[in-house]
Structure 1
Amino acid sequence: MKLMLTLLLSIGAMLSAPLSYAQQMTIAAASSLRPTLDRVVAAYKSEYPQHDIVIIYGASGRLTAQILNGAPFDFFMSADMDFPRRLADEGAAATEPQVYAKGRIALWSFNVDASAMTLQDLGAERIGRVAIAQPTVAPYGQRAREAMQAVGVWDDVEDKLVFGENISQVAQMAQSGAADVGIIALSLVRQPELAARGYTVIDAALHQPLEQGYVVTRRGADNAVAATFTQFLSTPAAQAVFRDNGFDVDD
């Protein structure tokens, strides 16, 4: 009898293990999504309370490299479409890249009134350091460079630039005074800790669109949470969270 009970418990444990795994997911997400994605996940969990989601934030390029090197991420939400396409091209994605929202960039400062500023003002002598995300790994940094080049101020500002590895670091640099002005994500500017200061949204026509995409990674191909979360991203509830936090979404 004791042997039979032990056998039944062992079988039960083996049957429940895959189900338990399927209730968990790890998302690698661009720093521009903090804390927006936390709120999207909270809305998701109100419908799927049994699902456990962990979010790892970082620069999209760094996260892409980690996924290609075997990092245990089931889902990737980038700040652009190029990095998800790279994962798909290299066989590291289980789905085709899809756009979930479009980002915007803005001028923000703790030291000066950024609401009265333009990109051309960044070249003025009164402005010292200008913080942007590292363009080689962070799409928001790429778009900041494109916008400055478009208005002809890049050459005047290049020597003033200080770089954050991701857009959250850029916001911290501007907040701390390590930079006089930061070009950061509108989604961060809209958060309470920054929203009290003035800001200027940069014309989207000055840079390539900040279409932000996601893929389910090869590791997450059979993950039930990844499948339901993919569907949730297109719901009115998720889109409302993105919109309220400064992203553009398709209606």
Structure 2
Amino acid sequence: MTHLLRRCAVLLGLLALVACGKSEPAPQIAAAADLRLALTDAAAAFEKETGEKVVLNFGASGNLTRQLQQGAPFELFLSADESYVTQLAKAGKTRDEGRLYAIGRLALIAPKGSPLRLDSQLAGLREGLARGDISRFAIANPEHAPYGRRAQEALDHAGLWKPLQDKLVLGENVSQALQFATEGGAQGSIVAHSLVLDPAVKGKAAYVLIPADWHTPLRQRMVLMKTAGPVAERFYAYLAEPAAKAIFAKYGFTLPAGAL
């Protein structure tokens, strides 16, 4: 009997250890679509270093902000436009005003076989429109996607926004705009530089960078929500460390001086 009781005590102890060691659900992270590659790599590096996982949810920053305003259970938000973080902070949804983590760039792309001639001043796009070679041109929807708004500003700077009106194909986010150009029949697109560095894109399209002074800077800010737990806090801190900064730089982001 004593032996049986001892075995039961050991079993109960093991069960208690398992229960105590049971991990919390991985935190949900909301992130701008331009971060699909960079943040996926950063999350993998974080997991390798700490053993902790995060769940990434990508979308247009405006749409994600609306979801957060309505109570979506994201614990950390990485926006492509810092104004959305400011909105959430003023609404009392965040811990603070967060921190700037990167500055993005726009790229003009032409899929393989496109008649669009690439150049940073968009002269080739102007020529293609004049010849009637451009029937579909993709950007993210400016109403809720920061990269779409900046694309509109750049096109307006070049005097091409109005001529392109009946040719525009609007993606729900910048990642979808890229898909329209590489797989959806558009002759060109303005997208995030970070996304065209994907090896899968390199064989499908070529690109040039658009001058940064043609549009409002893409100042990208991240912030912890008030509901953030310890794993989200550690991931937020990790994104300020040299290893994460190197990943952002790898995908073409400028690292703001003194911001991380």
Give the structure-2-normalised TM-score.
0.85
Q: Cα distance 1:114–1:76, how it changes in 2: closer, same or farther (>3 A)? A: farther
Correspondence for 2:74: 73
Instruction: Give the Å deviation of 1:114.
Output: 4.9
Q: Structure 2 unaligned runs (5+)?
A: none
Correspondence for 1:163: 170
Larger radius of gyration: 2
User: Is 1:218 the equivalent of 2:219?
Assistant: no
- Residue pairs, 1:22-171, within 5 angstroms: 24-49=26-51, 51-110=52-111, 111-112=114-115, 114-116=117-119, 118-123=121-126, 124=129, 125-171=132-178
- Matched letter for residue 174 of structure 1: A
Q: Cα distance 1:136–1:16, how it changes in 2: closer, same or farther (>3 A)? A: same
Instruction: Encode CA deviations 1:85-134: one digit per residue, 9 max, x unaligned.
Output: 11111111113221111111111121245544642433422222110000
Q: Distance in 1 between matches of 2:190 and 2:208?
A: 10
Q: Distance in 1 between matches of 2:171 and 2:49?
A: 36
Instruction: Give the Å deviation of 1:175.
Output: 0.6
**What secondary structure does 2:39 align onto?**
helix
User: Is 1:187 the equivalent of 2:194?
Assistant: yes
RMSD over equivalenced CA pairs, Å: 2.4
8 Å CA contact 2:104–2:220 kept in 1: the answer is: yes
Correspondence for 2:234: 228
- Matched letter for residue 24 of structure 1: A
Q: Cα distance 1:153–1:239, how it changes in 2: closer, same or farther (>3 A)? A: same
Q: Distance in 2 between matches of 1:8 and 1:59?
A: 48
- Matched letter for residue 83 of structure 2: D
8 Å CA contact 1:114–1:199 kept in 2: the answer is: no
Q: Distance in 2 between matches of 1:113 and 1:126?
A: 8
8 Å CA contact 2:116–2:124 kept in 1: the answer is: no
Instruction: Encode CA deviations 1:134-167: one digit per residue, 9 max, x unaligned.
Output: 0011000000001111122211112211100101
Moved over 4 A (4+): 4-17
Identity over aligned residues, as a percent? 39
**What secondary structure does 1:35 align onto?**
helix
Q: Distance in 2 between matches of 1:14 and 1:46?
A: 24
Correspondence for 1:206: 214
Q: Structure 1 unaligned runs (5+)?
A: none
Instruction: Give the Å deviation of 1:177.
Output: 3.8
Q: Distance in 2 between matches of 1:11 and 1:243?
A: 45
Give the structure-1-normalised TM-score.
0.88
Matched length: 244
- Matched letter for residue 38 of structure 1: T
Q: Distance in 2 between matches of 1:178 and 1:15?
A: 54
Instruction: Give the Å deviation of 1:236.
Output: 1.2
